[in-house]
Homo-oligomer: A and B are copies of this chain.
Amino acid sequence: MKVVKTIAELKTIVNKAKENRHSIGLVPTMGYLHEGHLTLATVARNENDVVIMSIFVNPTQFGPNEDFESYPRDLERDVQLASTVGVDVIFAPSVEEMYPTDGGIYIRAGKQAEILCGATRPGHFDGVLQVVAKLFHLTEPNCAYFGQKDAQQVAIIQTMVRDYNFSLEIRTVPIVRELDGLAKSSRNVYLSEAERREAPAIFKALQIAHDEFLISRDAEKAIILARNYIEECTSGRIDYLQMLSYPDLRQVTEETKEVLIAAAVYIGKTRLIDNVIFSLKGALAHV
C-alpha cells in the first residue's frame, strides 16, 4: 500500500492505472477510520482493480463554530487499518495541497442542503461538494463509495453527479446494524446502558413509518406514528423525522420513485442518525 501526500504523486498513479485500463474505486473519508469506512473499502476492493482511499479533514465543510481543529486525526492507525482491507493507495494531502488557490468559484448545494442535517449546518454541504468534486477530478474513479448512513450527503452528491454529468457511478453501501437494529456508529459508545436499550427504537420507528406508508400511502400519518413511537418508547428528543423523495429530497408525490425516511434523535446528549431508503415501484409489489 502506498501513502501519497501530493497531487503530483496521486496523478502519476491515476494516469498509470488509466493507461493499464485498470478500474479505480474511490473511498473518500476524513480519516479516523471505523467499521463503516472499512466496509466501504471492502466493497470497493471487490469491484475495482485499484482502490484509492482519501483521508482529508476538509476545512470548507466545517462551520466557524464547528470542530475542525479538534476533529480526531490518526493517520498512522488509519494506514494500518486500511491495509487490512486491501486499499492500494491512501491519498492524505495537506490543506495547502488541496486549496493552494481560491479564485472565488463555489458550488452551492441549494434546497437539498437546507433541510435535515443541513438545517443546522449552513454551508456544510457546499464544502462537501467542493471537496468531492475535487477528489473526483483528481482520482477519476469508475465508482465512488459512500455510506447510506449519511443519506443526505449521498443524495446531494448523487444530484451533482447526475446534473453535472460526472463520468462515474456512486455506490451507496447499506447501513451496518447491530443485532437489535441500531445503526453502527462511533457515537454509540457514548450511550449509557439505559440509553443503549432505548436507541434501537429509532430504527423501529423508521420501519413503522415505512410499513404504514406502503399500506396507506399517507406520509403524514406514517411520520406521526413513527414520532409517537419514539416519544413513547424513549426519553429522546427528535431533531428531525421526515419522509422525502430520494435523491431530490422534496415532498413525496405520486411521481416519487424512491423514498427516504430519515431521523436524527438525541438520546441523552448523543445525537444519533438513521434512515431507510426504498423504491416505491419495488415496494408496491410487497403490498
Contact = CB atoms under 8 A, between A and B. Distances in A.
How many copies altogether?
2
A21 B18 CA distance: 9
Contacts of A134: 164-165
Interface residues of A, number: 34
Interface in A109-158: 109-112, 129-130, 133-134, 137-138, 140, 156
A284 interface: no
B109 A105 contact: yes
> Nearest 8 CB-CB pairs, A to B?
A104-B110, A103-B159, A137-B165, A104-B111, A138-B165, A134-B165, A103-B163, A105-B160
Nearest to A138: B165
Contact of A19 (B21, B130, B164, B167): B21
Given A19-B21, A21-B19, A105 B137 contact: no
A20 to B, nearest CB: 11
A101 B133 contact: no
A107 B110 contact: no
